[in-house]
Structure 1
Amino acid sequence: MPTVLSRTICSLYDSVVDILHHKNNWKIILGSGLVALLVIKYRQPIFKHNPEFGDVFPNAGGLPIVGIIPFIVLSGKTTFQYCTYLSKRRRKKSFFISFARLPFFIINGYDDIKETLVKSSTAAAGRPGPETSLYLVNPEAKGILNRDYSQEFVSQRQACLQILRNFGFGKRSSEDRIQEEALALTNKLLEYDKPLNPTSIIQNSVANVICNMVFGSRYEYNNSIFDKLISNLNFMASFQYHKCIALYLPFMAKYSTYLQTNIKCQTEIIEFIQSEIDKNQEYLRNEEEQENFIYSYLKLMKEKSDDSSFSTEQLKFVVFDFFFGGTETTATAISWALIYLANRPELQRRLQEEIDRVIGDGVVSLHNKNETLLLDAFIQETLRISTPVPMTVLHKAIADLSVNGLHLPKGALFTANLHSVLHDETIFKEPETFNPDRFIQNDNILRPDELIPFGLGKRLCLGEQLAKQELYIFIASLIQRFEFSRVDEEKINESGLLGITYMPKDFLIVIKARS
């Protein structure tokens, strides 16, 4: 297809998507028709049914080519909200959908998710091949996040966890790093005397925790290279699959400005990571010991020279996973927390009183956690109601398995809808109401099994413990030093945008130092 025509089609498609995103009207038919006319062939894999594992999954419907996307847009809901809505209307919570060209299963509800990810943890631990992804910079699915389940995956995950533990991942030394960044964050916020959106500043601070561990150094807020990395992370995090024409027409990928910008952002981060790897390889050759993840991995790779799963290419994408995954989810949750504080001054006052009583003007420590029940409950409720990662990364069944009497066949793709659990009114009373007190009973903190913002099973978030530490120290430090309020009487919007994470819409907040 000629380049000019291809780019024209991409531009036209982007315009149609923008219209559909903002106006739920008849133009959805026009958009679907445009895509359909451009498709030469449409195929959907047919899974062989094995009755030994249960009945066939119900099909939630959809249109050729675009699948269920038009119905999601017309509903005014996000993908995960729409799937939660469908699950409440069905006898069987879980079902099959087609999202554009990609057919997969949605596992809803705590019982179904637990049965899939825990009871059948190994069978459910696979990842789809790179051909299902729009992330074209990692065609061999290296790293941890996108790597298929295998013995190599297990050994890589174990090696990475061990290296991180050596650097205090989940221990005291990681606490010191977070405290350092929390101080830098609060000092930076003191510079502002006008309403602002603090999201990028928060991202800088959280990213610096990861940089300190992975690269062995932190970056100042005005560092141009670091600012560019954060800008790239922002674009990647806000990337919306349904707006990309390549999801429907893969051969159009190289003509899609939206997708190519995303690839450029990833490539620039990967090039930066490669430069850090090169630097540490030189240190290793000169036997100049360094205290960072990259150096430790290279050292281990040298020791395990007969293990082909260790390579600089694998290391590059492991670090990419840490840098992206370890920054966006935590920073998003902190941004949500500030919105909830600004919209609820009475709750904010109670939290300030608790922190003043327990910590005073001292440095926030994880040792304080047992004495700050309301703060602990506030963080749990923030993760529950905002659900920064509402649906897990796609899994692949590596063997037949059963989900509540339904057959999930080998090779099938599926995702667990965590939102369907965290917003289940049979588990959390009045789930759309922000209420941290639901997690406090008889002066004890409640940690229900159903509170699963980080997922379950063998693909459980690698950085869960670090994220929990960061959330406690950052949020406590912010409440300790500042008062957060709305710009005017109108509440800050508590509905978000779904990209890679579920993030707040653009907002302004007044941040005032406490006297």
Structure 2
Amino acid sequence: MQLSLRNMILSLCEGIPLQNLLLLSAIILILAHYLKRRRIRNLNYPPGPPGLPILGNFLQMDFQKPQVTMQKFVRKYGNILCMHVGSQTFITVTGLPMIKEVLVNQGDVFIERPQIPLHLHIVKRFGDFSEMIGLIMSNGQLWKQQRRFALMTLRNFGLGKKTLEDRIRMEAKYLIEAIREEKGQPFDPHYVINNAVSNIICSVTFGNRFEYHDSQFRELLKSMDDVMKLLVRWECQLFNIFPSVMKFLPGPHQKLFRELKKLESFVEDVIKQHKENLNSEEPQDFIDAYLKELSKDNIHSSFNEKNLVYCTLDLFFAGTETTSTTLRWGLLYMALYPEIQGKIQDEIDKVIGQSRQPTMADKENMPYTNAAIHEVQRMGDIVPFNVPRMAMVDTIVAGYHVPKGTMLSTNLTALHRDPKEWATPETFNPEHFLENGQFKKRESFLPFSIGKRACLGEQLARAELFLFFTSLLQKFTFQPPPNTQLSLDVQCGTTMSPFPYKICAIPREM
């Protein structure tokens, strides 16, 4: 049937001049776009900016400052707005009530991740997969099995226990020594902080840490940085509209695939080494535990070696990037707000002193330091729109029709800068998290998201942020280099990070 229809169309087109065919195609596209827009109005979709045929709102998006562009749309169209890119429809919700509605009240409706063409192409290159694998972008039973196993294994290897806290404290010592080697001179803290934070998740997943001067691991961290930046390039986003064409064209998306291949190859080599030295009775890390699970030979299980590669990569990315970026924002804010840095150091000196390392037990007695860390997360705006979700069925949000398959993003930037929620929303101010001198939790603070797909590593990240940040300010005062103006400009990637900067870490003399 399809073949005969194709032949019929070809025979009808024979003899028609090319310019007439192009004109006809343009008319059909415009008509289809008009009918789609009328259908959207009839079905009571959320409001949003008008778009073009095929491209939709692609050309209206600013991939360098997406959070700025989105706030303009929010002011014009309201707290729920609808946009289109190619065949994909997505909505963005703004404000705490709306975010709680979609992620908590309708959490089971919006529990899935969208099957994005770029991501699907990445996994299909290395196996016959019809949907996403791993921890972050997988769905259904596969996601449930992998998340349950990852949580159980992370807990077995110390998550929430003193053993993992001790690893963080030990790594903090290595980090302090590495920074001390700079002798107060200007240096870029990017890779040394990346390495320190990554070593915690690496010790759990791979069973070992990596030295800060390890050139191979530094190259791996650079590949990870490149991937995070490349994913939001317009060429990679265009891949989601024209995947069958873009996969053959040169551009940043091809570099993305190459960098991901490097990371995959590294993890595959580590897995190979683990298989050669496996002690199935006493797993030493996440990979060992996963290989032990594979040996159970459950044909209905989602456990396989490719899933092991992607689960490990997901843990590696998630366990490194956001916490490392937050700490780099933290040092930058300390250098720019020396009076706040001084208050934190006064609290450190009073509660901990200089003779011992910080512990998680100190956190309860250090409300100002805890508030400052939360304020770094709020102002840093690390993941402005959360990880996307997708509607599993047709639903209603704020009176608007949201069809099955619609992509959902939650506007955390607006939430964390809402003047109704924060006294000085555009200013770094730890007092936002203090009340009568005590730390105050804020319902409108959601850097780890909420609901069933909230951040898997929230507990680990909170421990790392407190122990690394407090340890660094215990030993150093961070200052701008002489005659240098530090900037809070944002570098857009999958996370919002500061542009590379140099800073001076002045050893504190008590």
What pairs up with 1:431-470 in 2 under 5 angstroms? 431-470=425-464
Q: CA deviation digits over 1:281-316, x for unaligned, max 9?
A: 2333x6573410111122133236244211111111
Counterpart in the other structure of 1:391: 385
Does residue 82 (structure 1) correspond to residue 69 (structure 2)? The answer is yes
Does residue 281 (structure 1) correspond to residue 272 (structure 2)? The answer is no
Q: TM-score with structure 2 length normalisation?
A: 0.86
What pairs up with 1:99-114 in 2 under 5 angstroms? 99=85, 102-114=88-100
| Equivalent pair of 2:434/2:440 in contact (CA under 8 Å) | yes
Q: CA deviation at 1:50?
A: 11
Distance 2:423 2:86 in 1: 35
Q: CA deviation at 1:234?
A: 1.3
Cα distance change of structure 1 residues 351 and 132 upon mapping to structure 2, 3 Å threshold: same
What pairs up with 1:317-336 in 2 under 5 angstroms? 317-336=310-329
Counterpart in the other structure of 1:375: 369
| Equivalent pair of 1:84/1:108 in contact (CA under 8 Å) | no
Does residue 222 (structure 1) correspond to residue 213 (structure 2)? The answer is yes
Distance 1:446 1:304 in 2: 49
AA partner of residue 263 (structure 1)? F
Does residue 495 (structure 1) correspond to residue 482 (structure 2)? The answer is no
Q: CA deviation at 1:126?
A: 1.0
Cα distance change of structure 1 residues 212 and 46 upon mapping to structure 2, 3 Å threshold: farther
AA partner of residue 147 (structure 1)? S
| Equivalent pair of 1:196/1:510 in contact (CA under 8 Å) | yes
Does residue 59 (structure 1) correspond to residue 52 (structure 2)? The answer is no
Distance 1:51 1:146 in 2: 31
- Greater mean deviation of Cα atoms: 487-496 or 396-405: 487-496
Q: TM-score with structure 1 length normalisation?
A: 0.85
**Structure 2: 5+ residue stretches without partners:** 1-24
1:103 aligns to what SS in structure 2? strand
Q: CA deviation at 1:116?
A: 0.3
Q: CA deviation at 1:63?
A: 3.6
Cα distance change of structure 1 residues 458 and 339 upon mapping to structure 2, 3 Å threshold: same
Q: CA deviation at 1:394?
A: 2.0
Q: CA deviation digits over 1:1-44, x for unaligned, max 9?
A: xxxxxxxxxxxxxxxxxxxxxxxxxxxxxxxxxxxx99x97988
Q: CA deviation at 1:205?
A: 0.6
| Equivalent pair of 2:116/2:240 in contact (CA under 8 Å) | no
Cα distance change of structure 1 residues 217 and 117 upon mapping to structure 2, 3 Å threshold: same
Cα distance change of structure 1 residues 450 and 99 upon mapping to structure 2, 3 Å threshold: same
AA partner of residue 182 (structure 1)? A
Q: CA deviation digits over 1:430-466, x for unaligned, max 9?
A: 2111100111112321111110011121211111111
What pairs up with 1:20-419 in 2 under 5 angstroms? 55-64=44-53, 66-73=55-62, 78-90=65-77, 92-99=78-85, 102-131=88-117, 133=119, 136-137=122-123, 140-148=131-139, 150-193=140-183, 194-239=185-230, 240-244=232-236, 246-250=239-243, 251-284=245-278, 287=280, 289-303=282-296, 305-361=298-354, 362-419=356-413
Cα distance change of structure 1 residues 403 and 490 upon mapping to structure 2, 3 Å threshold: farther
2:122 aligns to what SS in structure 1? coil
Cα distance change of structure 1 residues 479 and 59 upon mapping to structure 2, 3 Å threshold: same
Distance 1:479 1:372 in 2: 13
1:222 aligns to what SS in structure 2? coil
Distance 1:82 1:41 in 2: 27
Q: CA deviation at 1:416?
A: 1.3
Q: CA deviation at 1:391?
A: 1.1
Cα distance change of structure 1 residues 77 and 132 upon mapping to structure 2, 3 Å threshold: closer
| Equivalent pair of 2:280/2:292 in contact (CA under 8 Å) | no
Cα distance change of structure 1 residues 287 and 72 upon mapping to structure 2, 3 Å threshold: closer
AA partner of residue 512 (structure 1)? I
| Equivalent pair of 2:271/2:287 in contact (CA under 8 Å) | yes
Indicate the structure (1 or 2) with the bigger Cα radius of gyration: 2
| Equivalent pair of 1:283/1:289 in contact (CA under 8 Å) | no
Distance 1:352 1:154 in 2: 43
Counterpart in the other structure of 1:9: none
Distance 2:76 2:397 in 1: 18
1:415 aligns to what SS in structure 2? strand
Cα distance change of structure 1 residues 122 and 445 upon mapping to structure 2, 3 Å threshold: same
| Equivalent pair of 2:377/2:447 in contact (CA under 8 Å) | yes
| Equivalent pair of 2:344/2:369 in contact (CA under 8 Å) | yes
Distance 1:346 1:111 in 2: 35
Counterpart in the other structure of 2:498: 504
Cα distance change of structure 1 residues 186 and 254 upon mapping to structure 2, 3 Å threshold: farther
Distance 1:263 1:472 in 2: 35
Q: CA deviation digits over 1:31-79, x for unaligned, max 9?
A: xxxxxx99x9798896998999x94211223344554454444xx9711
| Equivalent pair of 1:59/1:95 in contact (CA under 8 Å) | yes
AA partner of residue 165 (structure 2)? E
Q: CA deviation at 1:88?
A: 3.0
AA partner of residue 208 (structure 2)? S
Distance 2:351 2:317 in 1: 34
2:502 aligns to what SS in structure 1? coil
Distance 1:202 1:345 in 2: 21
| Equivalent pair of 2:233/2:252 in contact (CA under 8 Å) | no
AA partner of residue 473 (structure 2)? I
Distance 1:423 1:299 in 2: 46
CA RMSD of aligned residues (A): 2.7
| Equivalent pair of 2:235/2:253 in contact (CA under 8 Å) | no
Q: CA deviation at 1:180?
A: 1.4
